[in-house]
Structure 1
Amino acid sequence: MNRRLRTVVWGAVPVVALAALVSLDHVPGTDYSLTVPYVAEGPGPSFDTLGEVDGEEVIALEGVEEEDTGGQLNMTTVAVRSQLTLAQALGRWLFSDDTLVPAEQVFPSDMTREEIDRSNQVAFSSSEAAATTAALTHLDRPLVVEVAGVLDDTSASGVVEEGDRLLAVDGKKVERPGAVRDAVLEHEPGDEVTLTLSRGGEEREETITLGESPEDPERPLLGVLMGAASADGIQVDYNLQDIGGPSAGMIFSLAVIDKLTPGALTGGHFVAGTGTIDEDGSVGEIGGIEHKVRAARDLGAELFLAPAGNCSALAGQDTGDMTVAKVADLDDAIDAMDDFAAGREVTTCD
């Protein structure tokens, strides 16, 4: 072997070693992590809220005959890829449209994975509750507060049960989940609140000691996941699993309205969208809007309902033939679908 060849061979060793190193997620033989402190965000799965998933309706109504629907009304999500090696992060950055964001933005360092999962569970449950409330309020139907679940390791566990109806907090009547939250927020962690509950037609009072919210130790936690229920017997069940966060709220609410009103709310078109929902029907902005719009475009959606607060983030986005409507509340979303179906001008993010 001549000197030049030896130089090339030995010079290649550090390059090969570096290539191997950036592909590993830990130092061999140790627990030392070699992953980067970033996560990749990209388009996630999309679900037709008027359709089925795993053989079940995504949104199922009981106690009332569902109206016929048509078209598609898709919620959109963001996929988060974490624990990336340097090679994987560079690959996502160079060869995909994913965005790299600090992991701290998605997984706060002061929270355990279990606390983050619980927070996402609470956010998603709250989104479902707000969606039901907004939909039934839009349709002028009476409501009651119903317990959708109870968090483990809280004072409410073993005392409050799923299906209980929450009638009052500290003697004050409540008819919306938001009213319960407002009453709890008047207290501090460690305070006691008195809940008036109805179970099996019998009323009783229970005293609950408030815990601490995992996001903010100074914020009181009741430990009860609340949903809005129809006072006239309509039950709304959401059957999506392993989806976190509040961004499906608006689409959930529109799907409930569609199932309770004659005619197809979508006008028979493929509509997708995203946005949080408040009990009064206000639509809030969300994260990852560019990925959700791209996913909807690639799936063939004709109309995308985007929160007004997210429109600036879509400047320059390639939406193809898909119309992106600007919506601030449920009325805007319904008007956008009506206008699109009728061939009228739609208020867009442009």
Structure 2
Amino acid sequence: MQMKNTQSHWLRRYWPSILIGVIIVLFIIAYMKPLPYMLYGAGTAESVHTRVETGHKLDEKGELMFTTVSTYSNPNIFSVIYARINKRMEVKPVAEATGGATNLKAYRNLLAWMRDSSEANALIAAYAAMNKPIDVKEQGVIVYSLLAESQARSNGLQEGDIITKVDGKETLTVKTLSDYLQTKKVGDNVVLEGTRGTDTFKTTVPLIKMSDNRIGIGFINQPVLKVTPPDPVKFDFADTGGPSAGLMMTLEIIAQLTGEDLTRGYKIAGTGTISADGTVGLIGGINYKLMAAEREKADYFLVPFNDKNSSNWDLAEKTVKDLKLDLKLVKISKLQEAVDFLKKLAPKT
């Protein structure tokens, strides 16, 4: 009985310290525990000039600026709460943010290929715009996304994998891969080899019947291109991912190779994917890219526009209005439209 009284007295005496200790432990656990979310916010608006080398010097009075979105994966609860109440940030579950990719590593490998593919397409589009020849070769097939009916994911294939061999045979083009698979039947296993980021992979997957009645692995593919320009063009975008700098890369290449300062003394920010034929594609996170551009005092922002899908333009207009951003928006559907717009600008005084 005496022991109980002593214990009760001890608890009454030290309960504030115990409570504080428990709170500290819970705080540390909450701080250290990563949550399955991705946070989005304004990234950077940087000059493309320092990121693209062509061997041709050009004194730009202004800047062509590519823009990024800041992302943060597996945040703690405090970061999530902050992002929820911050009107300039957004929170998404990882599965939604990655488009259902197998894992974050696969998603990042896919983003790295998108960046490399954007550089390749920027070269092709720029040289086409200048009516100059350029050497293009396929050097693999990227797993862009896996179809729901595919059995490849459960057998080890991931988004972002670059296939270069099937059953030991070199398959560097989409046609070579497809032609070989048509010699097989549903249920046959094929051995795929290639690269996975900086590593290599080898996996065996069963074939299925596709919706168009062809035999396949069950993924959306894209060619991996090796582009060799006649000029010593080099890119420095290794710290970025995704294809959205394509338009601004292409404009910088054209400016340097033609020796014409397309900035006219202005800070021209923008975003948009670029296709080999010069089509400018829609992107994600344009609201955060506008915030970054405004922070760097950009004069104009080139916005991807599609007659059938005005989502980028609509969000850009809404963001400028809601946040009172001091930016002039310009609709761009094709590379040539961007070039024409810049060339018509009166030089900034």
How high is the TM-score relative to the length of structure 2?
Answer: 0.68
Say if 2:101 and 2:107, in contact at 8 Å, map to a contact too.
no
Say if 2:163 and 2:195, in contact at 8 Å, map to a contact too.
no
Aligned pairs, number: 287
Give the Å deviation of 1:234.
1.9
Q: Are 1:135 and 2:126 counterparts?
A: yes
2:65 aligned partner: 74
Give the Å deviation of 1:341.
3.2
Tell me: CA distance 1:242–1:190, structure 2 relative to 1, closer, same or farther (3 Å). farther
Tell me: CA distance 1:219–1:313, structure 2 relative to 1, closer, same or farther (3 Å). same
For residues 176 and 65 of structure 2, the distance between their equivalents in structure 1, rounded to whole angstroms, comes to 34
Unaligned runs of 5+ in 1: 27-34, 52-57, 161-168, 171-179, 193-208, 344-350
Unaligned runs of 5+ in 2: 1-11, 143-160, 185-190, 197-215
2:7 aligned partner: none
Counterpart code for 2:31: L
Q: Report SS of the residue matched to 1:315.
A: helix
1:40 aligned partner: 39
1:165-203 Cα shifts (integer Å, max 9, x gaps) = xxxx99xxxxxxxxx55x3575476979xxxxxxxxxxx
For residues 104 and 341 of structure 1, the distance between their equivalents in structure 2, rounded to whole angstroms, comes to 47
1:227-280 Cα shifts (integer Å, max 9, x gaps) = 3333xx223211221211111111111110111113211112111110000111
For residues 105 and 184 of structure 1, the distance between their equivalents in structure 2, rounded to whole angstroms, comes to 33
1:251 aligned partner: 248
Tell me: CA distance 1:156–1:21, structure 2 relative to 1, closer, same or farther (3 Å). same
For residues 266 and 120 of structure 1, the distance between their equivalents in structure 2, rounded to whole angstroms, comes to 29
1:105-130 Cα shifts (integer Å, max 9, x gaps) = 23355513332222122111111110
Tell me: CA distance 1:46–1:184, structure 2 relative to 1, closer, same or farther (3 Å). farther
Say if 1:190 and 1:210, in contact at 8 Å, map to a contact too.
no
Identity of aligned residues (%): 25
Say if 1:284 and 1:328, in contact at 8 Å, map to a contact too.
yes
Say if 1:249 and 1:275, in contact at 8 Å, map to a contact too.
yes
For residues 270 and 344 of structure 2, the distance between their equivalents in structure 1, rounded to whole angstroms, comes to 16
For residues 42 and 124 of structure 1, the distance between their equivalents in structure 2, rounded to whole angstroms, comes to 20
1:30 aligned partner: none
Give the Å deviation of 1:320.
2.9
Say if 1:303 and 1:323, in contact at 8 Å, map to a contact too.
yes
For residues 277 and 319 of structure 2, the distance between their equivalents in structure 1, rounded to whole angstroms, comes to 30
Give the Å deviation of 1:71.
1.2
Q: Are 1:330 and 2:329 counterparts?
A: no
For residues 191 and 14 of structure 1, the distance between their equivalents in structure 2, rounded to whole angstroms, comes to 68
Counterpart code for 1:49: V
How high is the TM-score relative to the length of structure 1?
Answer: 0.68
Say if 1:50 and 1:59, in contact at 8 Å, map to a contact too.
yes
Counterpart code for 1:84: P
1:205 aligned partner: none
Give 1 or 2 for the bigger CA radius of gyration. 2
2:233 aligned partner: 236
